[in-house]
Amino acid sequence: MCGIVGYIGKQKAAPVILEGLKRLEYRGYDSAGVATLVDGRFELAKKAGRVEGLILSTPAQRLPGTTGIGHTRWATHGGVTDANAHPHLSSDGRMALIHNGVIENYASLKKFLVGKGYTFKSETDTEVLCNLIAYHYQKEPATSEGSRFMESVRKSLRHVDGTYGIAVMCTDCPAEIIAARKGSPLILGVGDGEYMLASDVSAIISRTQNVVYLKDGEMAHLTAGNFAITTLGAEDVSPVFDTVTWRVEDAELNGYAHFMEKEIFEQPDALENSMRGRFAEDGSTAQFGGLNLTAVDFRQIDRVHLLACGSAWHSCLVAEYLIERFARVPVDVDYASEFRYRNTPLGRNTLFFTISQSGETIDTLAALREAKRKGYKVLAVSNVVGSTIAREADGGVYQHVGPEIGVASTKAFTSQLLLGAMLALYIGRMRDMSFSDGSAYVQALKGVPNLVRQTLLLAPQLKAVARRYAHFHDFLFLGRLSLFPIALEGALKLKEISYIHAEGYPAAEMKHGPIALISEQCPSVFLVPSGEMFHKVVSSMQEIKARKGPVIAIAAEGCDLPAGLADEVVRIPECHEAVLPIIATIPVQLLSYYIAAELGRDVDKPRNLAKSVTVE
Ligand code: AGP
């Protein structure tokens, strides 16, 4: 996934674009570049490395011109090199293009273009599209430059298989940018006498809150004083304006060392926002405004199917446990990337949910489309208003936790856990859950922000534990039932930001193989619930201890752990079983964050990762 920015207006384009690229770097940060158009020629600055490096190492800020495009890359085709950085220029020098997505038939198109005499400087699929547009342009009858430009882009995109969010400039059209999207997000910002294009709102929020979300198959034609939207088939589209509710400071560090740290500590307020207005007046159940299904529809449902990737998939495993526990409705959970090709036999009355913070994860979007193709209703849980998944679903629930900039998901993940628990309540109260049980459940949910605040007070202890354990190279994370997915999440967090190998397992499963890994060099993090599973988990801890494995216990306050069993004991507050996964998540987030910080890792932009994976 990459970040793209375009600007056309009264100010110098380069500084505006570079500022926007800095806010998009969490989408990809292998290389960056900016191109402006002035006096019929392109001014170009691009290189491997971060946006900051581009700003410092070349006169990028000083590029002339009030029309420009910029890009920050997450490599798909071609290595991380200056030549592969975007923007790309056509070999005849007429077109400059930036692209987010994958052109699947780029090899055949490249072969055709080489045959027409076009040359290539990079290994990218994007340069192929750039030359293709130049090819169609030189073939297009010279009626009026603008429409000739537009038609050459249109014709080129009709030959493309794959996904794209693009912005392109032409030397013959000095104050124009053409944009188009298919499978990759693209937003148009309408400012005061200026227009911006961006992959998401964080790049334009400082200049305007007035946006138009382009839909798949749409194109935008920006000029100095106007814009028009059409379909790839050249039909006019009336723009639908939206107002972004995020504020600039939501996408700023505000004194924290990293966005991940800020977003961990934002969770009490973020979870408050996720719940706001979502409890029924009688206080015994949840309510959602956007499900677009009646209670009667929900009564017909006899199965729920959850689709997601990564951390969002972990949240589905918790939702599965809670919906089956409290609503007595069977649940299936699939990796979105697997569901699409598994061809699972499905019942008639299954309700699908996709869970996706970004709302742009291509595997989850493809799974949504597959379920809809089979005639099922699909509801989306997402954090980005107007995202592709949110718009293609039949309804859903926005998370409302504000922009999550850190690549490692934290507040969005606990919000997904919270909303999963609320859905379990909502469906349960349509079935056998009593008024009093529902009311108690609601009170437990309302108490989550304060319980999270209380648990965040453990940060200094987790920081000290992190210092003692940051040098290990292998970890096991172990939990049972609704805490097993939190063990998976803890392992993922540690892997993705500290680059330390970690695995999550059901605690009892550890003796069926992973126990072979145990030594003094392989710590185990146990999530220890009170109640019936307590003694079972203690037995697993003893098996580890007997083999000299270091044990870190994250245990509910009421647990009476045998003395000396754990090398570290972190106490989390007792709570209702529906919210225990949320509370247990806080220490594993803090542990992974402090270990990564201790190791000096780039916590917000870990190597090889991107915030939302819009390539399959
Ligand atoms: C989480 O820490 C990861 N960054 C990643 O697993 C993420 O959860 C996954 O890519 C799904 O993203 P989405 O929620 O935006 O669909």
pLDDT digits (tens, 9 = 90+) for 122-171: 999 999 999 999 999 999 887 765 589 999 999 999 999 988 999 999 99
Yes or no: is domain 252-446 CATH 3.40.50.10490?
Answer: yes
Rounded CA separation 291/355 (Å)? 14
Range with the poorest average pLDDT among 65-79, 490-504, 602-616: 602-616
Q: Using 50, 70 and 90 to split pLDDT, how confident is the model at 28?
A: confident
Q: Using 50, 70 and 90 to split pLDDT, how confident is the model at 53?
A: confident
Residues 6+ apart with CB under 8 A from 76: 102, 125, 615
Question: 457-616: what CATH class?
Answer: alpha beta
Q: Find the angle CA(119)-CA(125)-CA(130) to the nearest 5 degrees.
A: 55
321: nearest Cα among 455, 511, 488, 436: 488
pLDDT score recorded for residue 159: 96
Residue 454, Cβ neighbours under 10 Å: how many? 16
Rounded CA separation 110/90 (Å)? 12
Distance from residue 336's CA to the centre of ligand 1 (Å): 12
Q: What percent of the chain has pLDDT over 90?
A: 81
pLDDT score recorded for residue 558: 85
From 306, 309, 335, the mutation candidate for ligand 1 (largest count of ligand atoms within 8 A of CB) is 309
Is 316 in the active site?
no
Rounded CA separation 153/136 (Å)? 8
Is 611 in the active site?
yes
pLDDT score recorded for residue 145: 55
**Phi/psi of residue 397, nearest 5 degrees:** -135, 125
27 vs 520 pLDDT, higher one: 520
Rounded CA separation 188/200 (Å)? 9
Run of H or E residues at 262: helix 259-265
Distance from residue 237's CA to the centre of ligand 1 (Å): 32
Rounded CA separation 282/285 (Å)? 8
526 vs 405 pLDDT, higher one: 526
List the CATH code of the domain at 3-244.
Answer: 3.60.20.10
Rounded CA separation 605/26 (Å)? 6
Q: What percent of the chain has pLDDT over 70?
A: 99
pLDDT score recorded for residue 249: 73
pLDDT score recorded for residue 146: 58
**Phi/psi of residue 315, nearest 5 degrees:** -65, -30
Run of H or E residues at 309: none
**Ligand 1 proximal residues by C-beta, below 6 Å:** 309-312, 356-358, 361, 364, 407-409, 496, 612-613
Q: Using 50, 70 and 90 to split pLDDT, how confident is the model at 615?
A: low
Q: What is the mean pLDDT of residues 344-348?
A: 94
Residue nearest to atom 7 of ligand 1 (CA): 310
Per residue in 349-404, pLDDT tens? 999 999 999 999 999 999 999 999 999 999 999 998 888 899 999 999 999 998 89
Paired tokens of 314:
């972990």
Per residue in 266-276, pLDDT tens? 999 999 999 99
Q: Using 50, 70 and 90 to split pLDDT, how confident is the model at 518?
A: very high
Lookup result for tokens 């011109």: 65
Q: What is the mean pLDDT of residues 280-304?
A: 93
Asked if the domains at 3-244 and 252-446 fall in one CATH topology, the answer is no
Question: Can you say how many angstroms the Cα of residue 72 is from the centroid of all Cα atoms in its chain?
Answer: 16
Rounded CA separation 116/139 (Å)? 12
Distance from residue 109's CA to the centre of ligand 1 (Å): 32
**Phi/psi of residue 475, nearest 5 degrees:** -135, 150
So where are the chain's domains?
3-244, 252-446, 457-616
* DSSP H helical ranges for 62-219: 106-115, 125-139, 145-158
Mean pLDDT (the chain, rounded): 93
pLDDT > 80? residue 57 = no
421: nearest Cα among 320, 546, 494: 320
| Beta carbons of 148 and 67 less than 8 angstroms apart | no
pLDDT > 80? residue 76 = no
Residues 6+ apart with CB under 8 A from 200: 3, 24, 27, 185, 187, 384
Paired tokens of 44:
């170009």
Per residue in 200-254, pLDDT tens? 888 998 899 999 999 999 999 999 989 999 999 999 999 999 998 877 777 778 8
Point out the ligand 1 atom lying closest to the alpha carbon of residue 364: 16
Per residue in 78-131, pLDDT tens? 778 888 999 999 999 999 999 998 899 999 999 999 999 999 999 999 999 999
Rounded CA separation 3/19 (Å)? 12
Point out the ligand 1 atom lying closest to the alpha carbon of residue 492: 2
Catalytic residue among 2, 173, 559, 575: 2
In this prediction the pTM is 0.81
Per residue in 556-589, pLDDT tens? 998 999 999 999 999 999 999 999 999 999 999 9
Rounded CA separation 332/344 (Å)? 10
Rounded CA separation 305/316 (Å)? 9
